[in-house]
Amino acid sequence: MSAHPISSVAQEPAQQRGADIVDFGAALADSQVPQILLQLDQELVGLRPVKTRIREIAALLIIDKLRKSVGLQSAVPSLHMSFTGNPGTGKTTVALRMAEILHSLDYVRKGHLVAVTRDDLVGQYIGHTAPKTKEVLKKAMGGVLFIDEAYYLYRPENERDYGLEAIEILLQVMENQRDDLVVIMAGYKDRMDTFFQSNPGFSSRIAHHVEFPDYTSEELCEISARMLEATNYRLSAAAQEALGRYIELRKAQPHFANARSIRNALDRARLRQANRLFNTGAGLLSKEQLMTIEAEDLLASRVFGPGG
Amino acid sequence: MRLTQGTFSFLPELTEAQIRAQVEYALAQGWAVSIEYTDDPHPRNTYWEMYGNPLFDLRDAAGIMQEITACRATFPGSYIKVNAFDSTRGWEAMRLSFLVNRPPQECEFVLERQEIDGRRLRYTTRREPARTR
């Protein structure tokens, strides 16, 4: 008989075996992580690198828990993260999911997300900043603190700026109360890089730098389809084609905010659709008409140029 | 004399874990927790000093535990209590209040009887020795 690993284990006393073997399947099912990851996969379009990264982090956390259960060394991993990417690439949405994942793994106790910007952390006069920052931190305890556009905290051009005070308090809490809260910082890639360069304390305390790529045109089409489906609208065939052209044109224009721009475009199309139906005057409208966005609703956008 | 005011005051001192569990319970009920301290724990003194603002919108006890620790460090010689206020319409009252800190030397109170109008008695609780500021 070949030396099969299971048969060799079977010869050991049952007690010892119990201590060395962990039920990975049970731990996985217990944590609900697979469901959350699946949901993440299905509900968010694209974002391949982000999903891979989150999967890795979740895997590390589960394995760490298992290691702990058999008495192996497992330091509480640093979970502070930075999300960098252009506007509208889903940073806030992913942060919300991250809070859920960390909660289901017991790394944060409550799993809520507190989203703040500079205004919520930095005060307006001397002595105002520290209590303000501390209050926000207390609210975020047991959950995730999401700092949007974190680079605004640090304003090198004004040496008396109170942002530095907020940064100091943040750093202290990030270091000393790692099991109480997880900090996620988000913002544009280049400005975050400068921010981390001028505040080395942050970059060394943030273990995970996750980059959010821009969406491709196909992904934006997919996203718009989901947005419309969620609000009970549909595009006519011609409108579908018009939307494709719209996305191409809009991407080339300045201030393109990925999914957010698409959502705004669809909102405006809904306005025009409503107005179009309104102008048809009295008469019967079918459910179909109420649901359908026609090509003209989209083509009226300024993106197609005057008279386009 | 051991001061018995508020919830749990006839029990042994609560441990940190027990205080935390109570605060968690209050938060789970949606009550706003606040911390107060005083050096005048007379039963008729309802106005204790607030330590900071009431802690609204907290989800986890960690922030409150931090404040309790800070309050104890600032006023080690004071009585400190944790309150939980229920803002639900109809209640709008303190639902839970318990001591988390006592001075090393507890206050003494004496009951004073005063005879008035013949044999009638009037009772007063007086701090002994009187508070010196």
pLDDT at position A15 is: 47
Task: Band the pLDDT of A279: cuts 50, 70, 90.
Answer: confident
> What CATH architecture is B16-103?
2-Layer Sandwich (3.30)
Q: Exposed, middle or buried by CB within 10 Å (0-12, 13-18, 19+), for B37?
A: buried
Which residues in chain A have their CB less than 8 angstroms from residue B33's CB? none
The average pLDDT across B22-39 equals: 95
Q: Are strands A144-148 and A182-187 parallel, antiparallel or unpaired?
A: parallel
Task: Band the pLDDT of B24: cuts 50, 70, 90.
Answer: very high
Task: Band the pLDDT of A2: cuts 50, 70, 90.
Answer: very low
Residues in chain B: 133
Helix A48-69 and helix A91-104, axial crossing angle in degrees, nearest 10: 10
pLDDT at position B131 is: 67
Residue of chain B nearest A180, judged by CA positions: B62
Is A99 an 8 Å CB contact of chain B?
no
- 3-state SS class at B89: coil
Q: The pTM is what? A: 0.81
- 3-state SS class at B121: strand
The average pLDDT across A254-272 equals: 90
Is A141 an 8 Å CB contact of chain B?
yes
Closest-CA distance, A174 to chain B, in angstroms, reads: 14
Closest by CA to A108, choosing from A130, A140, A132, is A140
pLDDT at position B65 is: 94
Task: Band the pLDDT of A70: cuts 50, 70, 90.
Answer: confident
Q: Dump pLDDT digits (tens) for A38-58.
A: 888 888 888 888 888 888 888
Enumerate the domain spans of chain B: 16-103
Average predicted confidence (pLDDT) for chain A: 85
CB contact under 8 A, A139 and B63: yes
Closest-CA distance, B88 to chain A, in angstroms, reads: 21
The average pLDDT across A126-153 equals: 92
Task: Band the pLDDT of A6: cuts 50, 70, 90.
Answer: very low
Residues in chain A: 308
Is A120 an 8 Å CB contact of chain B?
no
CB contact under 8 A, B59 and A139: yes
CB contact under 8 A, A141 and B57: no
pLDDT at position A179 is: 84
d(CA A138, CA A132) in angstroms, rounded, equals 10
In total, the C-beta contacts within 8 angstroms joining chain A to chain B are 32
The average pLDDT across A118-126 equals: 92
pLDDT exceeds 70 at position A60: yes
Best to test chain A binding among B60, B67, B71 (most A CBs inside 10 Å): B60
pLDDT at position B61 is: 93
How many CB atoms sit inside 10 A of residue B106's CB? Answer: 12
Task: Band the pLDDT of A98: cuts 50, 70, 90.
Answer: confident
d(CA B71, CA B101) in angstroms, rounded, equals 9
3-state SS, one letter per residue, for A43-103: HCCCCHHHHHHHHHHHHHHHHHHHHHHCCCCCCCCCCCEEEEECCCCCHHHHHHHHHHHHH
CB contact under 8 A, A143 and B58: no
Which residues in chain A have their CB less than 8 angstroms from residue B58's CB? 138-139, 141
Which residues in chain A have their CB less than 8 angstroms from residue B61's CB? 142
Residue of chain A nearest B60, judged by CA positions: A142
From B59, B61, B67, residue closest to A143, measured CB to CB? B59
Structure tokens at A145: 């603190």
d(CA A229, CA A21) in angstroms, rounded, equals 47
ipTM of the complex: 0.80
Q: Dump pLDDT digits (tens) for A168-201.
A: 999 999 988 888 899 999 999 999 999 999 888 8
Q: Dump pLDDT digits (tens) for B38-91.
A: 999 998 999 999 998 899 989 999 999 999 999 999 999 999 999 999 999 999
Chain B positions contacting chain A at CB under 8 Å are: 55, 57-64, 66-67
Most confident of A24-28, A54-58, A233-237: A233-237
Higher pLDDT, A275 or A283: A275
